[in-house]
Structure 1
Amino acid sequence: MRYTSAALRDAWALSRPFWKGEQRWAARGLLTVVVLLNLALVGMNVLLTYWQRGFYNALETKDWDAFISLLILGGPTEQFGFIPGFCIIAAIYILVAVYALYLKQALQIRWRRSLTGSLANRWLDHRAYYRMAVQDRATDNPDQRISEDARLFVDSTLTLGLGLMRAVVTLLSFIFVLWGISGEITVFGVTIPGYLVWVALAYSALGTWLTHLIGRKLITLNFVQERVEADFRYALVRVRDNVEGIALHRGEAEEKAALEGRFGAVIGNWWAIMTATKQLTFFTAGFSQVATIFPFVVVAPNYFAGRIPLGGLIQTSTAFGSVQEAMSWLVNNYSEVAAWRATVQRLSGFHEAIAAAEAHSGEGPSLRPEPRDGLKASGLTVTLPDRRPLLEDAALSVAPGEAVLVTGASGSGKSTLFRALAGIWPFGQGEVSVPEGKRMLFLPQRPYLPLGSLRRNLAYPSPERSFGDAALLAALEDVGLAHLAPRLDMVESWDRVLSGGEQQRLAIARALLQRPDILFLDEATASLDPVAEERLYRLLRERLAESAVISIAHRPAVAAFHDRGLRLQDRKLVPA
């Protein structure tokens, strides 16, 4: 019970923004219509039991006129008065069923859009995605949680919720039907009214309890299956995105072994799910088979004694089966409930990880805009996630138009210093002052190339229509990529189409277009030959003469394009 209440609480926390947000009235209205349509389906099922009673009684008495009228337009019955014919009931049932499903799907897509947008926005806001990537290694595969788990949560919550509601309403409706037709029985001198109701309830309660005992391990196994499936899928994506590196290293055998290992985890857990499902299915299948004949066995003595007609036997069997099936809702949906709980756990865990990242969003060196020119850092301490220091109490000042080269041994923390100056590194302290209203641009060694056209990649992070064709083509020519001009509006996976050097040239073209006030270059030309590197640095200094430039580089020739140097050594930033 404790785990059930926790799952329901977590599910409500995930659902609250949709049902209480801006779309709440449309969502609630749509849900109300869906609920009413589902209730109408239950009502028609109740109506059909009375139709069955009259129909089978007509068969038993060989009443042709009643048989035909009950098939087409309807007619009077013994207990219900006039009842519509099967054709009318079926036509209305089909119409209601179609729109119950259609409007439920409309509600699903609205809810999924809201939940996915909420998760994606919170993941991206306050750079929660970045902190989770560098520190929260336990929150695996955020892409799957935002896309697949959100879809499964919405679909399962609506399907199971509406199914449970229908089961409860069916139970209440058919209990009255069953009570009215079951009569009473005397056991050991005690007269039990509506005895079939008590038999159905006892039978279903026993089945539900045994199902939970047998199948509860599926909850944990489904949770693990989601994780190992996502891990395997992520490994495949990594291979796809690094085909050249793998080919150059002749790493196919190692990649195969790694993929086999991850897929082995998928197979191993799946076998455990199969075993648990087999045990559960042995019981549920047997339970369902017995439930098919059980009401006939219970009612047969009254039928053979002539106390009820054939139609009464059929109606009793249908009502008993409906009560039993409604009470056995958990028996019939246990695997789906287990998968739903696993999905809720993954989404709530992701939700909590985002909340934790948001709670720490103000940590790390602060980035403060000031009405001044240039960049200034003071009291700057940079640490790793485990709090080991890389830089202690450093100061830095770069004036407009000044170029500073930062050097240091590999692993000394130069790139991490740049992240701190960018205001994204969450570990450490100090203050970085940047010109208010001015633009900064960071070019890492491996540029980020978003999905889309070459035009979008050149304009990034500005909207792709921020620059005219003439400016884009001129930037391509300036950096030596004129041959790409005809492909300006082509959509490609540019991180795989372009070589490492071409990607870095494209990033320099961005800088020429963006004209930032402060430009950070972290080994941004390391994939180019020395001649091309010198040419591009010269181009930057000429075109961005008023911009402050801070570079990380190792080649001595690059120093010629900088006014002074700093070296990161022994956790200090000293003149080079």
Structure 2
Amino acid sequence: MFIQDMKLLAAPYWSAQGRSRAWFTLTLAMLAVAGIIAIQVRWNEWSLGFYNALQNLDAAAFGYHVVELLLLDVAFIACTMAKFQIQQRLLINWRERLTQEFLGKWVDSQRYYRSRFHSVTYDNPDQRIAEDCRIFVEQTLELGLNLLQAVILVVLFSFIMWRISGTLSFEVAGHTMAIPGYMLWLALIYAVIGSGIAHWIGKPLIGLNFMQQRREADFRFGLTRLREDAEVVALSRAQGLESKQLLAQLGLLLSNYARLVRSKKHLLGINAAYERFAFTLPLLLVSPRFFSREIQLGQLTQIASAFGEIQASLSFLIRSYPQIAEWRATRTRLCSFWRELDALPPPVDPVVRSTAGLKLRDFAPLDTQGKPLFAPITLTLREGERLLVRGPSGVGKTTLIRSLAGLWPAHQGIAELDRDGLLILPQTVYLPHGTLHELLTWSDDPARVFNEEAVIEVLHIAGLDHLALHTQGNWSRSLSPGEQQRLALARALLLRPSLLILDEATSGLDTQAEQRLYEALIDRGITLVSIGHRESLSQFHTHALDIKSNQGVGLTENQPA
């Protein structure tokens, strides 16, 4: 599963077009790591000459090694900065590609909407796309390069330790025992024991990190929802309920965080003890050889330094366990999200043929039990004709529109309409940020161009010609619900879709504005399907469809307006 997960998350960048540049950049990062390792090895050799010169009171040798140390430090800083710069370049490029893949998967085939009709286990997709992709890429590069550095250092300093630590001799039951390179074996044993204890104590961090990310995202989403629905909450005087729900989410978040802190505290104690003993242990073990003048001060510090490098590299797991736990939780969240999206059933489009107008044959949306929400509909709406759909709230009128748009998961019967020329205006208007001109002229067809006069004309019909056409604005907040609906209808007048479906799209308009806009739609010969409860709507439609819950449907013909 680990290999499959890594392939899934790495393929968008490392196996896609332009991968040669990615691998070249990674090679540069590895060269920077190699430079850092070479300097660390040289530092170990430097300590031998430096401390021997210090012990022997050799001022000339001391000065030479001071200059060498300064040069090594400058080179180390340069390699560290180069590694950081290259690593960040990799991070930016990989995160961009991975985020694009997840965003495309989320938006493709309208999964962002269809997922609500299926049993899914993922939560907070916005956090997974925006935050988890960043965390995964950032920590994968950091952990990967640090692991590479640790492995190479272990190999190199093992050779050094074997060469300089000498042989430990002792007697057991009258027999002389000798352990060559005994400090190397001690460093290996010390690191293995420490890593085992750290893994045992730090294992709960994986699940706790996974849950903490989820709790944080839930709380952040609750705050975002309160900001977006601020006016509705204020008018409903529901701030008490919102506060209660947010505090409950905060309580869950902090409760899990407290458990996370306890686990980190135990792991921190192990790390502190491990690093402290690793500093003093080699000095204590080698010091008898120093006091017996078997080795000089330089050899003592060189052995202690090599021991420290080996145990530090082998203790990569101990030092990085919290980060590894977070990385593993993030990887799990991303892969489960991707697989859940893959597992969503493909959309079932009821439209079997593209045609002008609208044709339905024994058509009805199905509920979760597979039963029709109302009696199947059979009708033919010719080009330029207009249908008013009526019925009590909750009978399934809006669901009928969702099904015709290909958004509802199940239906019976077939439909014929021009899907490419279909435009649906819901009661709540979608108004992204931008200028009014951009909002009005946006189209799926980038080649379609509208002249300025046509845009000004539809704004005049909608009674919005007082608004600045080329000024950026947050129109969903600055315009009233009625003005937003008029803006949406002005766009429909400009686009002239082959089939326009209005779902309570004039509920916020006064009767005069509603009449003016409907007459403009009729003048343009647009085929209309309207859902509404107002009696005044009948005069604008050539047909009426009455849907009654569990009582069938009735189609009547009106006199043209």
Contact 1:441 1:518 in 2 (8 A): yes
Match of 1:514 in 2: 495
- How far is 1:170 from its partner? 0.8
In 2, the alpha carbon distance for the partners of 1:232 and 1:384 equals 32
Within the candidate set 39, 45, 48, 2:43 is matched to 48
Which region of structure 1 is more displaced relative to structure 2, 114-123 or 375-384? 375-384
In 2, the alpha carbon distance for the partners of 1:312 and 1:467 equals 82
What pairs up with 1:291-370 in 2 under 5 angstroms?
Answer: 291-357=278-344, 360-362=345-347, 364-370=348-354
Match of 2:508 in 1: 527
Within the candidate set 467, 484, 489, 1:503 is matched to 484
- How far is 1:136 from its partner? 4.4
- How far is 1:90 from its partner? 2.3
Match of 1:562 in 2: 541
SS in structure 2 opposite 1:452? Answer: coil
SS in structure 1 opposite 2:547? Answer: strand
Match of 1:38 in 2: 33
Q: Kindly tell me: are residues 465 and 251 of structure 1, through their superposed partners in 2, closer, same or farther at Cα, counting changes over 3 Å? A: farther
Q: Kindly tell me: are residues 468 and 262 of structure 1, through their superposed partners in 2, closer, same or farther at Cα, counting changes over 3 Å? A: farther
Q: Kindly tell me: are residues 230 and 29 of structure 1, through their superposed partners in 2, closer, same or farther at Cα, counting changes over 3 Å? A: same
In 2, the alpha carbon distance for the partners of 1:127 and 1:54 equals 68
Equivalent position amino acid for 1:500 in 2: P
In 2, the alpha carbon distance for the partners of 1:191 and 1:331 equals 31
Q: Kindly tell me: are residues 13 and 137 of structure 1, through their superposed partners in 2, closer, same or farther at Cα, counting changes over 3 Å? A: closer
Match of 1:163 in 2: 146
- How far is 1:290 from its partner? 1.4
Which region of structure 1 is more displaced relative to structure 2, 403-412 or 93-102? 93-102
- How far is 1:246 from its partner? 0.9
- How far is 1:464 from its partner? 11
Match of 1:477 in 2: 460
SS in structure 1 opposite 2:466? Answer: helix
1:58 matched to 2:37: no
1:516-572 per-position Cα deviation (integer Å, ceiling 9, x unaligned): 010000000111223322232222212x21x21111000111011000111222454
Within the candidate set 1, 18, 40, 1:23 is matched to 18
Q: Kindly tell me: are residues 398 and 465 of structure 1, through their superposed partners in 2, closer, same or farther at Cα, counting changes over 3 Å? A: closer
Contact 1:365 1:429 in 2 (8 A): no
Contact 2:14 2:22 in 1 (8 A): yes
Which region of structure 1 is more displaced relative to structure 2, 374-383 or 56-65? 374-383
Equivalent position amino acid for 1:113 in 2: E
- How far is 1:105 from its partner? 0.5
- How far is 1:369 from its partner? 4.1
Equivalent position amino acid for 2:292 in 1: A
Equivalent position amino acid for 2:554 in 1: V
TM score, norm. by length of structure 1: 0.92
TM score, norm. by length of structure 2: 0.94
In 1, the alpha carbon distance for the partners of 2:473 and 2:235 equals 23
1:450 matched to 2:435: no
Contact 1:395 1:573 in 2 (8 A): no
Match of 1:75 in 2: none
Contact 1:7 1:344 in 2 (8 A): no
Within the candidate set 213, 234, 241, 1:247 is matched to 234
Q: Percent identity between the aligned chains?
A: 38
Contact 2:117 2:409 in 1 (8 A): no
- How far is 1:123 from its partner? 1.0
Match of 1:3 in 2: none
1:444-470 per-position Cα deviation (integer Å, ceiling 9, x unaligned): 000111122222222234569943333
In 1, the alpha carbon distance for the partners of 2:61 and 2:394 equals 91
Match of 2:217 in 1: 230
Q: Which runs of 5+ in 1 are unaligned?
A: 1-5, 73-84
SS in structure 2 opposite 1:491? Answer: coil
- How far is 1:435 from its partner? 3.5
Match of 2:253 in 1: 266
Q: Kindly tell me: are residues 10 and 282 of structure 1, through their superposed partners in 2, closer, same or farther at Cα, counting changes over 3 Å? A: same
In 2, the alpha carbon distance for the partners of 1:319 and 1:193 equals 16
Which region of structure 1 is more displaced relative to structure 2, 299-308 or 518-527? 299-308
SS in structure 2 opposite 1:390? Answer: coil
1:490-528 per-position Cα deviation (integer Å, ceiling 9, x unaligned): 222221111111111111011011110100000001112
1:21-45 per-position Cα deviation (integer Å, ceiling 9, x unaligned): 1021111111111112112211210
What pairs up with 1:52-451 in 2 under 5 angstroms?
Answer: 52-72=47-67, 85-136=68-119, 138-187=121-170, 188=172, 189-357=176-344, 360-362=345-347, 364-370=348-354, 372-385=355-368, 387-391=370-374, 393-435=376-418, 439-451=421-433
SS in structure 2 opposite 1:433? Answer: strand
In 2, the alpha carbon distance for the partners of 1:392 and 1:206 equals 72
In 2, the alpha carbon distance for the partners of 1:465 and 1:63 equals 84
Q: Kindly tell me: are residues 296 and 423 of structure 1, through their superposed partners in 2, closer, same or farther at Cα, counting changes over 3 Å? A: same
Equivalent position amino acid for 1:502 in 2: E
In 2, the alpha carbon distance for the partners of 1:39 and 1:386 equals 63
Match of 1:82 in 2: none
Match of 2:529 in 1: 550
Q: Kindly tell me: are residues 96 and 47 of structure 1, through their superposed partners in 2, closer, same or farther at Cα, counting changes over 3 Å? A: same
Q: Kindly tell me: are residues 340 and 386 of structure 1, through their superposed partners in 2, closer, same or farther at Cα, counting changes over 3 Å? A: farther
1:151-188 per-position Cα deviation (integer Å, ceiling 9, x unaligned): 00000100011111111111111111111111111353
Contact 2:545 2:555 in 1 (8 A): yes
Equivalent position amino acid for 1:319 in 2: A
In 2, the alpha carbon distance for the partners of 1:430 and 1:178 equals 79
- How far is 1:373 from its partner? 2.4
Equivalent position amino acid for 1:46 in 2: V
Contact 1:441 1:516 in 2 (8 A): yes
- How far is 1:388 from its partner? 5.0
Match of 1:574 in 2: 554
Contact 1:365 1:380 in 2 (8 A): no
Q: Which runs of 5+ in 2 are unaligned?
A: 557-561
- How far is 1:385 from its partner? 4.6
